[in-house]
Copies of this chain bind each other. A is one copy, B any other.
Amino acid sequence: MPNPSPQLLLLSSSTTHGRPFLGHALEAVTEWLAGRKRLLFAPFAQRDHDHYVDVVQDAVNPLGVRVEGLHTAADPVGAVREAEALFVGGGNSFRLLSELRGRGLVAAIRDAVLTGTPYMGASAGTNMACPSLRTTNDMPIVRPPSFEAIGLVPFQINPHYLDPDPGSTHMGETRERRITEFLEENDVPVLGLREEAWLRVRGAHAELAGFSAARLFDRGAEPREFAPGADLSFLLRSEPRFDLP
């Protein structure tokens, strides 16, 4: 990593079954915010930006945090530069990346985060922290000018990672099959983050946290399971071997 101190909180999902938005991870969000009281939120993965800001504001009200929507900034790049903390929310990853690129925000966010601005992602926002969009689950409803994402970590994450359902009669590819196809074309580790899991990165240290194990896929190796609390710092030393964009 070019900078020793990125502060990342990468959630598999913003919502888990039976809990409100961010409800499963509020303690982790509090710790990640480290007392900051303003949160700049990128709502671009969903269509209704204002509504999405309201959802996030409701979620962090108990923490006394004020949310600002990045879509309302007259100068989005400047807003990112001055942010106390950044949150990129989930929705459709293709739409999100297109909107970020259209506003010049991919490089702006990378620069801000690698010089210390805390970054939180959920689902599509976690995808954005990877080198590429290529391990998203989303439908390619629009075509971004590049699949290259923000690249805050040097490996891929698959959010909402889902184990095969042994009772299913559906013949569509399992998630593991899809990731195997990814590894046929790209030599980059993929961390399958189940919905209640997240990754906490502090500088050169990465720890799996939350309430689910995660599954790591790498070319030519059997998938490996890691339990919450596992030290995944070795992933920060990955050297992604694929052509971008």
Contacts and interface: CB of A to CB of B under 8 A. Distances in A.
Interface of A: 13, 15-18, 47, 91-92, 94-95, 133-143, 146-147, 160, 162, 169-173, 178-179, 181-182, 184-186, 195, 245
Contact of A184 (B47, B185, B195, B245): B47
Contacts of A184: 47, 141
B171 A16 contact: yes
B170 A195 contact: yes
Contact of A133 (B13, B140, B178): B140
Contact of A137 (B17, B133, B139): B139
A164 to B, nearest CB: 12
Nearest to A91: B181
The complex is assembled from copies of this chain, and their number is: 2
Nearest to A168: B17
Contacts of A171: 13, 15-17, 160, 195
27 contacts: A13-B171, A15-B171, A17-B169, A17-B170, A17-B171, A92-B181, A94-B140, A95-B181, A95-B185, A134-B140, A134-B141, A137-B173, A139-B178, A139-B179, A139-B181, A140-B140, A140-B147, A141-B182, A141-B184, A142-B186, A143-B146, A143-B147, A160-B170, A160-B171, A170-B195, A171-B195, A172-B195
A139 B142 contact: no
A134 B186 CA distance: 22
Contact of A141 (B160, B169, B185): B185
B160 A172 contact: yes
A143 B245 contact: yes
Contacts of A141: 134, 178, 181-182, 184-186
Contacts of A185: 95, 141-142
Contacts of A147: 140, 143
A19 B40 CA distance: 52
Nearest to A16: B171
